[in-house]
Structure 1
Amino acid sequence: MQLSRANLADFVYFLAIARHQSFSRAGQEVGISASALSHAIKGLEGRIGVRLLNRTTRSVTLTAAGEELHQVISAPMQKMDQAMEVLNRYRDEPTGRIRLNLLSDAADLLLGPVLPVFNDRYPEIQVDVTATNLIVDVIGGGHDAGIRYGGTVPEDMIAQRLSADIRWVVVAAIEYLQRFGTPTHPTDLLRHRCLRIRLGNGNLYDWEFEQQGEQIAIAVPGMITIDETRAGLALARQGAGLMYLPEPVAAPLIERAELVTVLDDWASVGPGFYLYYSSHRQLPTGLRLLIELIRELQPLG
């Protein structure tokens, strides 16, 4: 069977389905409906006379033939993507789409101030953002890059720093401190109500403190566990407990006296935000321009 324009387009659809194992999510990536995507794959299967996908009401998996096709065409299609990025560098107006997977903190602190300027400067570049605190395979999920704190970037990725290191603080509502008292040492937290933090890998995070070379990690108690900063802030403002978070996130609420910091002398500093992408992929032009703009505007210093 000769390669035709229809088959080439269907191969793109097939790879998206293989990545997401879902017609709806793959359709969002390639910009067509799930039903149109299903129709296109059925047409491809009909033309080649081989079933590529196992479909049930709950899942989509590759057949043996689909697995082999995936192995054969993945690398060439990736090289075609890279070729388009090479050509984009020669355009007067950069175009295309970049897909980012990032923490909600990064969406707030980095992209919030930057993307409006980016849209004005590069109106032909689409930005597709997925904000999640779960640790995911960003490349396998169809994203061009991820943004995480430096200490959580996968080792097999190329990482580029986007911000200075970040100070972490403990905050509470004044009403909470009036009711339960103010901790003066990290070990005092063991007698307080704390909003525990669940990391993207499912583990609970021990709050970290440092003072004059002394470092302490506390497995804080608490009946409430959170995995997202905004949810925790809503609870902390209502007096639900003490919260541990990046200082820039809490700064507006502290300025309005909705929250106050405690244990300031023990505040620790952690790695800032890093953007990371696969070492096997060429950096897309849009992504390079976004990195340059973040470094130009320096929303976090």
Structure 2
Amino acid sequence: MHLSRTNLADIIYFLAIARHQSFRKAGLEVGISASALSHAMRGLETRLGVRLLNRTTRSVTLTAAGEELQELISSPVNAIGQALETLNRLRDEPAGRIRLNVLSDGAKLLLGPVLPVFVERYPDIEVDLTVTNKMVDIIGDGHDAGIRFGGTVPEDMIAQRLSPDVAWAVVGAPGYLEQFGTPTHPKDLHGHRCLRIRLGNSRLYHWQFAKDGQQIEIDAPGAITLDETRVGVALATRGAGLMYVPASIVERHVKQGSLKRVLEDWTHYDPGFHIYYSSSRQVPVGLRLLIELIRELEPMGPFP
């Protein structure tokens, strides 16, 4: 079969479908609709004279012929991609687009200080930023990388640390503490109004504490549940309740006196922010440059 432009494009589409076993997810990766992908695959199968895909209403799997084709062409196509990426790295002015899915706290603490420097240094690189606390399939949703706390990164991803460990603080407004008292032990929280935290997987987060080898988790009681730090800080400063939050987020409020830390001797530390991406895809040059800049500027302080 002649390696025409159409056949080469269809081979790229086929490999995306083989990776995701989904027309929708593969379409997000290659930038065309699921129906167009399905049409392209039928054309490729007709030209080859063999069926490559088993299609059902819920899934797409490879036939034996499809598995053999994937095995034969994956390495050459990856080699071409690596060669093009090498040439891209040699360009004087890096360009392109990077798509990031970032936890809201990571966007504030890491990217807030770094992105102004990044766009000044690399003006031809576009940054498409999605800020959400929901756990998503970054590859299936078309992102190049995600930024999360180290303990929440999916195991099948490559991860790089971007910050030191994160200290968690319990804070409340001075007026709240005057009215309801100051907790001196994590168990005292059962008698307080707390701003509860919903995680990205919809579970309620139990506040964690550590002291002298002791570790305690508290199912903090409260009438308000939220999943966005900025809203929580606004509520806490107005006396709505105690909040459990990365200490760096509220450092300015504590210095200004609008919030006070409590239970500081029970501070819990989480693995710092990590950037993660698929091991099966080429890392865009812009993403590598962003990682290097974060490690250079260290917006949250030095880390290993």
1:109-124 counterparts in 2 under 5 A? 109-124=109-124
Would the aligned equivalents of 1:22 and 1:60 in 2 still touch at CA under 8 Å? Answer: no
The alpha carbon displacement at 1:191 in A equals 0.9
Q: Residue 282 and residue 39 in structure 1: after superposition, are their counterparts in 2 closer, same or farther (change >3 A)? A: closer
What residue in structure 2 maps to residue 190 of structure 1?
190
The alpha carbon displacement at 1:284 in A equals 2.7
- Greater Cα shift, 164-173 or 142-151: 142-151
Partners of 1:240 and 1:80 in 2: CA distance:
57
Partners of 2:22 and 2:132 in 1: CA distance:
19
Would the aligned equivalents of 1:7 and 1:44 in 2 still touch at CA under 8 Å? Answer: no
The alpha carbon displacement at 1:181 in A equals 1.8
Would the aligned equivalents of 2:97 and 2:126 in 1 still touch at CA under 8 Å? Answer: yes
Q: Residue 22 and residue 236 in structure 1: after superposition, are their counterparts in 2 closer, same or farther (change >3 A)? A: farther
Would the aligned equivalents of 2:208 and 2:216 in 1 still touch at CA under 8 Å? Answer: yes
| Secondary structure in structure 1 of the residue aligned to 2:299 | coil
Partners of 2:102 and 2:21 in 1: CA distance:
18
Q: List per-residue Cα deviations over 1:87-126 (Å, max 9, x = no partner).
A: 2122122222222222111111101110111111111222
What residue in structure 1 maps to residue 270 of structure 2?
270
What residue in structure 2 maps to residue 94 of structure 1?
94
> For residue 131 of structure 1, what is the amino acid of its counterpart?
V
Q: Residue 243 and residue 90 in structure 1: after superposition, are their counterparts in 2 closer, same or farther (change >3 A)? A: same
> For residue 236 of structure 1, what is the amino acid of its counterpart?
A
> For residue 274 of structure 2, what is the amino acid of its counterpart?
Y
What residue in structure 2 maps to residue 176 of structure 1?
176
What residue in structure 1 maps to residue 142 of structure 2?
142
Q: Which runs of 4+ in 1 moved over 3 A?
A: 1-16, 18-23, 29-32, 37-50, 59-65, 71-83
| Secondary structure in structure 1 of the residue aligned to 2:138 | coil
Would the aligned equivalents of 1:98 and 1:144 in 2 still touch at CA under 8 Å? Answer: yes
> For residue 149 of structure 1, what is the amino acid of its counterpart?
F
Q: Residue 91 and residue 183 in structure 1: after superposition, are their counterparts in 2 closer, same or farther (change >3 A)? A: same
> For residue 92 of structure 2, what is the amino acid of its counterpart?
D
| Secondary structure in structure 1 of the residue aligned to 2:159 | strand
| Secondary structure in structure 2 of the residue aligned to 1:171 | strand
Q: List per-residue Cα deviations over 1:245-264 (Å, max 9, x = no partner).
A: 10111112222322221111
Structure 2 unaligned regions, length at least 5 = none
1:146-157 counterparts in 2 under 5 A? 146-157=146-157
| Secondary structure in structure 2 of the residue aligned to 1:110 | helix
1:178-257 counterparts in 2 under 5 A? 178-257=178-257
How many residues end up aligned between the 2 structures? 294
Would the aligned equivalents of 1:208 and 1:218 in 2 still touch at CA under 8 Å? Answer: yes
> For residue 185 of structure 1, what is the amino acid of its counterpart?
H
> For residue 160 of structure 2, what is the amino acid of its counterpart?
Q
Structure 1 unaligned regions, length at least 5 = none
The alpha carbon displacement at 1:265 in A equals 1.5
Q: Residue 212 and residue 26 in structure 1: after superposition, are their counterparts in 2 closer, same or farther (change >3 A)? A: same
Q: TM-score, with normalisation over the residues of structure 2?
A: 0.78
The alpha carbon displacement at 1:43 in A equals 8.3
Q: List per-residue Cα deviations over 1:15-57 (Å, max 9, x = no partner).
A: 59x979898x967x7779x8xx97898788789879x9x9xxx
What residue in structure 2 maps to residue 283 of structure 1?
283
Partners of 1:44 and 1:154 in 2: CA distance:
31
